[in-house]
Structures are given as C-alpha cells and as structure tokens.
Amino acid sequence: WQNTPPAELALEGLGLTLLDSVARTTKYDVSLDLAEVEGRIVGSLEYATALFDRETAQRYVAYLERVLRAMVENERQVVGAIELLGETERRQVLVEFNATHQALQQDLLVHQLFEQQAQQQP
C-alpha cells in the first residue's frame, strides 16, 4: 500500500520524463500493489503465468473486490463471513464438483465394498 506522494527528482541541467513500463517478469508468484491516487485506490496484480492463467488472476481480483466492498458496507464485517464466491462459482463448487453420486450395492457390507474396490483398482 502506497499513500505517499512520489518524490520529485530534480537534477540540474537535466530534464526527466516519467515513462510507463510493462513488466515482463515478476519476482513473486503473485504480487498485488495498491496506491491512493487522487482519492481513489488503484492497483496492479502481477502473477507468474507459468503458475496462473488470466482467468484465475481475474477471479482473485474479484474476491478482493468482494472483501473490500463488504468492509465498506459494514465496518464491523467479520472477514470470515464474507461471501467470496459468486452464484455461478458457488453452484460449480457445491453442485457440479460434488456430483460424485454412485449407486452402491445395498446388500454388501462396508468391508465387502472395500474388498470389491481393491480388486477393481489394486
């Protein structure tokens, strides 16, 4: 977090111009930089593309936005109670990823089911 104004560098006889640069590598797996600019919070997220894809990074930013919005709406908000997942993602995690239903033979005991599974996948 940076909320101090940038230092002005003046060198006698030299003119300086600030240039925007685009980072091609990152020092860390994920790096979040935030700063206050003209009364607003602005930031950038850098991530190792070998570890994360763009969609994952965007999802992380959305999580952070949800946390910040919840904290602004209620300063006493407990962070652990904030809903990070949107409706689509919540359904994916709770329903789609959890769709593991299998019909079991009702006439077998647990140890018999275990033995059966061990034979199928030694």
Could you tell me if residue 55 is inside a domain?
Answer: yes
- Residue 25: its pLDDT value, please? 79
| Domain contains 23 | no
Q: According to the model, what pLDDT value does residue 28 have?
A: 92
What SS3 state is found at 73? helix
Q: Is residue 59 part of a domain?
A: yes
The tokens 């940038």 sit on which residue?
6
Residue 30, beta-bridge partner list: 47
Instruction: Profile the chain (122 residues) by mean pLDDT over runs of 10 residues.
Output: 70 76 81 87 91 95 92 91 92 90 84 92 88
SS3 content of the chain, % helix, strand, coil (to 5): 35, 15, 50
Q: What is the pLDDT of residue 2?
A: 63
Of 117, 95, 119, 122, which is closest to residue 104 (Cα–Cα)? 117
Domain ranges, residue 73: 30-101
Q: Is residue 42 part of a domain?
A: yes
9 inside domain: no
Closest CA to 61 of 81, 87, 33, 24: 33
What is the predicted pLDDT for the residue at 1?
60
Quote the number of domains for the chain. 1
DSSP 118: H
Residues for the chain: how many in total?
122
Residue 45 has φ and ψ, to the nearest 5°, of -120, 120
Flag whether 12 is in a domain: no
In a domain, 1, yes or no: no
* Distance between CA atoms of residues 61 and 70, nearest Å: 14
Match 């030694």 to its residue by tokens.
122
Is residue 8 a part of any domain in this protein?
A: no
